[in-house]
Amino acid sequence: MNIDVIIHIEDDVKDTELIFNEYFVPEMISSRISETRPDTKIYYSIPLSYTGRLEGLKNTIKRENSDDITFWKKFFSTVSSDHAVVINGDSPFFDPEIFSEMTEVHIKYLAEFTFSENLPEGFACEIISRELINQIPDTDEKTLPLGKVIRANINKFDVELFYKEPDIRSKRISFRLNSLREKIIMENLYNINRTIPPYGEIKDLIESNPETLFTGPSYVEVELTGKCSLDCLFCYRKTLKSDEHGHMEFKTFSSILEGMRESALPYTLCLSGSGEPMEHPEFYSIMEAAVKEDLIEQLIIETNGLNADSNFKSFISKSENSKIKVIINNNGLDKESYQRYHKTDAFDSVFKNTVSLGELNSNGERVYIQIMKINETDEFAKENDIKSYLDKYYDFWEGQKVPIILQKQNTYFDRIPDRKYSDLSPVKRTPCWHLQRDLYILSDGTVSFCKQDIDGENSYGNIKDMKLSEIWNNQRKSFIEEFHGRFPSKPDCKNCDEWYTFNF
């Protein structure tokens, strides 16, 4: 059976974004395939907007839309092959051994579509059979890319799932060039032995050289203020050194943005911390400065919702502020429960604001409501109740069409009572996500050891006195030590249960 290869170039990609170690990646992939299977026909699939070195080649195919059903109908009508292997053209770590193994599995089991769920992007490929395309009716309508259609209807086709050890999904790495952060990780791995490693060596290389994963902050949480008008049942704010958690100066916030520009890496900014960000007197000026930063992909506002009124909705509704997302912390579903958890009679205002903001979700999720999973929210309200409080909460807020985030409790090393309903910690400990990718910055500019260091007692430095890049480099040693299971006593990383939680 004939098997052709299509090297797929994404929309809006320039040739400069397809360079790795001075090599043009699509040609690297083509060369490796030719070495493995010399008789294989190789095509390049490019969008109409592409202008580069692949344009005009006799084996280049221009596509009008995505690689949808129409594209594949046209492709198989012009070639004699029975199967096509799709490889992303920005995959410098493409492994010919995996390519060979996947095609063998596809043919052996007479599959119509073969893909892998455990291999990271950049190593795996998709294999499509002519028989599959012939089964699908012709259509003039635009559809999703074929791979997404098959995955969404997996039981309707003969699909083969390819699995290969080692499984490194827990690292959350994509080996493609569409992310500068991932490109740096690949460059770090390449530089260990000055060669592109085969997939089978990746896990050992990372575990022997964890610094390869330490690129730059991807999640920055900023405490704009330690002030809040609520006194929630599970809040840690009363345990803080209150005189050190005032309002952050606008100049300090600007220094954070300036420091993040040095890394030139995209990141998520979260305005949260111990207080209510919307109680900061310069809250809107701070948001305006943040949304103008090109490197900020998402701006997350964690709020109690009291001040998230029509003015706030009007601000985030503007097209230029579309990167703003809102998380409303509210454990109540009526006046009584709100009073019980948040110690004030403000349910009507928060409900009104939440439902109004939820209207913005018609064009994609931007507003969420968050409940903490603790004993008090997961208990049965009455002896004969069929549903727990948490079930009722979901029914109520899903009825308002507001997506829900279920949050685990953080006791901050037992500074507050442990109300956790159950222990969600994985059996096997893995390296801490927060030391690898997060920065937690207090209102006075102190950069804490991590988000557990809520008073900055184990700080890496202060943004007022040091460059953010220097502070981040100070965190490198902590990450490497923790990665190898060598935990500090201050803070007590060994007894922390936040290591497995992952932010945006």
In this predicted model, what pLDDT tens digit does every residue of 350-408 receive, in sequence order? 999 999 999 999 888 999 999 999 998 877 656 677 788 999 999 999 999 999 999 99
Count the neighbouring beta carbons within 10 Å of the beta carbon of residue 249. Answer: 14
CA 178-179-180 angle, to 5 degrees, is 125
* Beta partners for residue 341, in sequence order: none
DSSP 80-136: --SEEEEEETT-TT--HHHHHHHHHHHHHTT-SEEEESSSPTTT--EEEEHHHHHHS
- Side chain identity at residue 223, one-letter code: E
**Integer Cα distance of 351 and 347 in angstroms:** 6
Contact at 8 Å (CB) between 162 and 105?
yes
Domain annotation covers residue 110: yes
Whether the Cβ atoms of residue 432 and residue 482 lie closer than 8 Å to each other: yes
**Are residues 249 and 125 both part of a single domain?**
no
Q: What is the CATH number of the domain that holds 312?
A: 3.20.20.70
**CB 93 within 8 Å of CB 55:** no
Domain stop point among 128, 143, 168? 168
Inter-residue contact 482 to 431 (CB < 8 Å): yes
Residue 300 near residue 325 (C-beta atoms within 8 A)? yes
pLDDT of 504 reads: 79
Q: Say how far apart CA 3 and CA 105 lie, in whole Å.
A: 13
Gap between the Cα atoms of 264 and 376, Å rounded: 44
Q: Is residue 76 part of a domain?
A: yes
Q: How many helices (H) and strands (E) does the chain have?
A: 15, 18
By C-alpha distance, which of 396, 225, 415, 215 is closest to 301? 225
Say if CB 373 and CB 407 are below 8 A apart. Answer: yes
Give yes or no: residues 356 and 473 share one domain.
Answer: yes
pLDDT of residue 157: 94
Is there a single domain that holds both residue 139 and residue 229?
no
Report the C-alpha dihedral over residues 455, 460, 466, 468, rounded to 10 degrees.
-100
Does residue 12 sit in the same domain as residue 123?
A: yes
Same domain for 255 and 332? yes
148 and 89 inside one domain: yes
For residue 163, the domain's CATH number is: 3.90.550.10
Task: Please report, for residues 93, 96, 195, 328, 424, the alpha-carbon distance to residue 407 in angstroms, rounded to integers and kept in the order given.
Answer: 37, 42, 43, 12, 11
Question: In the listed set 168, 188, 207, which residue is the last one of a domain according to the structure?
Answer: 168
474: three-class secondary structure by DSSP: helix
Residues 125 and 257 in one domain: no
CB within 8 A of 31, min separation 6: which ones?
none
Domain assignment of residue 214, yes or no: no
- Cβ-based neighbours of 440, under 8 Å, separated by 6 or more: 221, 223, 273, 434, 447, 448, 450, 451, 453
Q: Is residue 201 situated within a structural domain?
A: no
Nearest alpha-carbon partner for 223 in 269, 272, 169? 272
| Tokens 């019980």 sit on residue | 340
**Cis status, amide bond into 491, omega within 30 of 0:** yes
The predicted model scores a pTM of: 0.93
Q: Determine the pLDDT at residue 78.
A: 93
- Are 297 and 402 members of one domain? yes
The pLDDT, as a whole number, for residue 1 is: 64
| Residue 103 sits in the same domain as residue 251 | no
Token pair 């690292």: residue: 171
Domain ranges, residue 11: 3-168
SS3 content of the chain, % helix, strand, coil (to 5): 40, 15, 45
User: What Cα–Cα distance (Å) separates residue 415 from each residue in 244, 304, 371, 444, 492?
Assistant: 17, 21, 20, 21, 13
Sign, Cα dihedral of 162, 166, 170, 171: negative
Residue 370's H or E segment, with its range, is strand 367-373
Statement to judge: residues 245 and 135 lie in one domain = no
Provide the number of structural domains found in the chain: 2
| Domain stop point among 129, 152, 168 | 168
Using CA atoms, how far apart are residues 333 and 322, in angstroms rounded to an integer? 28
**Strand pairing of 83-88 and 126-129?**
antiparallel
> Could you tell me the CA-to-CA distances from 261 to 16, 125, 256, 257 in Å, in that order?
21, 35, 9, 6
482: helix, coil or strand?
Answer: helix
Q: Is 109 part of a structural domain of the chain?
A: yes
Query: Is 193 a member of any domain?
Result: no
Query: What's residue 396's pLDDT?
Result: 94
Asked if residue 52 is part of any domain, the answer here is: yes
* Contact (CB, 8 A) for 248 and 278: no
Q: In the chain, which stretches have pLDDT less than 70?
A: 1, 242, 380-383
| Residues 362 and 487 placed together within one structural domain of the fold | yes
Q: What is the pLDDT of residues 80-116, one digit of tens each?
A: 999 999 999 999 999 999 999 999 999 999 999 999 9
Structure tokens at 334: 């009526």
For residue 380, the model assigns a pLDDT of 66
Same domain flag for 164 and 230: no
Report whether the peptide linkage leading into residue 277 is cis, meaning its omega lies within 30 degrees of zero. no
Residue 472 counted as domain residue:
yes
